[in-house]
């Protein structure tokens, strides 16, 4: 069982996680023109904490995660989202193949768990239609102290925005913009800012 399978049952119990997911969803809604014709991919959707705020604004969301337990919880949660159109995909994002060309890819706090960012950005570019967007939220560069329960499965201690811009542009993205989405204030008296990276292909 993976780290996330083990955490799935108690994942939604954290007030701070729920607050973060809401803040990221609000930042996406404010900065990306969503429409009822759109089919989005939420990668690393987890239990759907962020997904649920976007479902009323688009046609369909494919929620992808490699943790079957997180997806089980998402399926249970989605029953309370008023008939929202959500389909679940159990897959590693790097291995995911789809016939659908998505209008946009959204994500909340999952990119730092992906080791090979070059392959990730290539994958984003193949999954999107022309003029599609990415709206990816994650941590600014940190020193490894963000995760209270250790860094197993954490491949990046946050990100330098310049590195992400380079990876995006090398893979065909344009108009790369970073927007402040949230700041974690932790008991260790440190602040961990979270960005929303938006770009178009
Ligand atoms: C920190 S959680 C975020 C969950 C959710 N987006 C949220 O905001 O509550 C990261 C999620 O990414 C998933 N994940 C990590 N690596 C993945 C991969 N390679 N492919 C698909 N999902 C992955 C984990 O299973 C987990 O559900």
Taken in order of first residue, the domains within the chain and their CATH numbers are 3-200 (3.40.50.150)
pLDDT at residue 151, as a whole number: 84
CA-20 nearest atom, ligand 1:
8
What distances in angstroms separate CA 146 from CA 74, 88, 103, 178, 190, one per listed residue?
25, 29, 32, 20, 9
Summarised one tens digit per residue, pLDDT across range 17-57 is 999 999 999 999 999 999 999 999 999 999 999 999 999 99
C-alpha 65 – ligand 1 centre gap (Å): 6
The residue whose two tokens read 């649920």 is 52
Please report which confidence band the pLDDT of residue 188 belongs to, taking 50, 70 and 90 as the band edges: confident
Please report which confidence band the pLDDT of residue 185 belongs to, taking 50, 70 and 90 as the band edges: confident
C-alpha–C-alpha distance, residues 137 and 10, integer Å: 22
Region at 158 (left for phi over 0; alpha for psi -120 to 50; beta for the rest) = left
Please report which confidence band the pLDDT of residue 145 belongs to, taking 50, 70 and 90 as the band edges: confident
- Say if CB 43 and CB 132 are below 8 A apart: no
Please report which confidence band the pLDDT of residue 154 belongs to, taking 50, 70 and 90 as the band edges: confident
pLDDT at 186 over 80: yes
Q: Whose CA is nearest to atom 8 of ligand 1?
A: 108
Q: Residues with Cβ within 6 A of ligand 1?
A: 4, 17, 21, 44-46, 49-50, 64-67, 70, 92-94, 108-110, 113-114
Contact partners, residue 201, CB within 8 Å, separation at least 6: 124, 125, 128, 130, 131, 132, 133, 134, 172, 173, 174
Summarised one tens digit per residue, pLDDT across range 100-114 is 999 999 999 999 999
Residue 159 is classified by DSSP as B
The residues with which 197 forms a beta bridge, in sequence order, are 136, 178
- Tell me if the pTM is above 0.95: yes
Averaged pLDDT, 136-149: 91
């Amino acid at each position: 069982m993976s780290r996330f399978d083990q955490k799935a049952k108690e994942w939604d119990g954290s007030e701070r996680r729920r607050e973060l997911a809401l803040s990221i969803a609000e930042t996406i809604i404010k900065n990306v023109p969503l429409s009822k014709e759109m089919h989005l991919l939420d990668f690393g959707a987890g239990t759907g904490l962020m997904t649920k705020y976007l479902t009323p604004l688009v046609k369909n969301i494919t929620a992808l995660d490699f943790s079957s337990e997180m997806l089980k919880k998402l399926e249970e949660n989605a029953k309370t989202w008023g008939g929202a159109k959500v389909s679940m995909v159990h897959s590693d994002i790097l291995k995911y193949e789809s016939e659908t060309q998505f209008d946009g890819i959204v994500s909340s706090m999952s990119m730092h768990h992906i080791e090979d960012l070059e392959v990730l950005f290539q994958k984003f570019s193949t999954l999107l239609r022309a003029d599609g967007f990415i709206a990816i939220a994650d941590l600014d560069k940190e020193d490894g102290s963000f995760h209270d329960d250790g860094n197993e499965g954490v491949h990046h201690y946050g990100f330098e925005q310049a590195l992400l811009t380079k990876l995006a542009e090398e893979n065909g993205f344009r108009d790369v913009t970073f927007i402040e989405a949230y700041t974690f204030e932790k008991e260790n008296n440190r602040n961990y800012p979270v960005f929303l990276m938006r770009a178009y292909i």
